[in-house]
Amino acid sequence: MKIGKHFAALAFCLAVLWAGRFAPCGQATVSSWIGIVAMGGLLTVFLYLIAYDFVSLLTYRLGWEQCFDHLKVYPGDTPVPNARPISLKAKLFFFYPLDLAIVSFLLLPGWTKLAYCS
């Protein structure tokens, strides 16, 4: 089911990209394909962690899996051999709100402006 959860998380991210077309447009801007692809890719990368963990929690709650298998996030840029992943509590209180704030206030409005308001 792990591959299915990856595809479901990706489909969720693509649905958010598609739903961005219904946001209100301000001023029309000039956009390039490189900007559209870069902003869409960045939005997908930031949203993927939350989407995968949500799909994993949903499959666990529906009884399709025996345990809640969330993505593990490690501190720092380079992996250390004995490093412990960041706890689920820290992800819940720090990473998810920060990630949602970045997506909601920066990336999604930028995506809508570049992709649909030009």
- 30 secondary structure, DSSP code: -
> What pTM did the predictor assign?
0.80
The per-residue pLDDT for range 19-55, each reduced to its tens digit, is 877 777 766 666 677 888 888 889 999 999 999 999 9
- 6 secondary structure, DSSP code: H
The per-residue pLDDT for range 100-110, each reduced to its tens digit, is 999 889 888 88
Number of domains in the chain: 1
The residue with tokens 């250390």 is 80
Domain that holds residue 93: 2-115
What DSSP letter does each residue of 31-96 carry, written as one string?
A: --HHHHHHHHHHHHHHHHHHHHHHHHHHHHHTTSSSS--PPP--SSSS--TTPPPPPHHHIIIIIH
**Percent of the chain's residues with pLDDT above 70:** 91
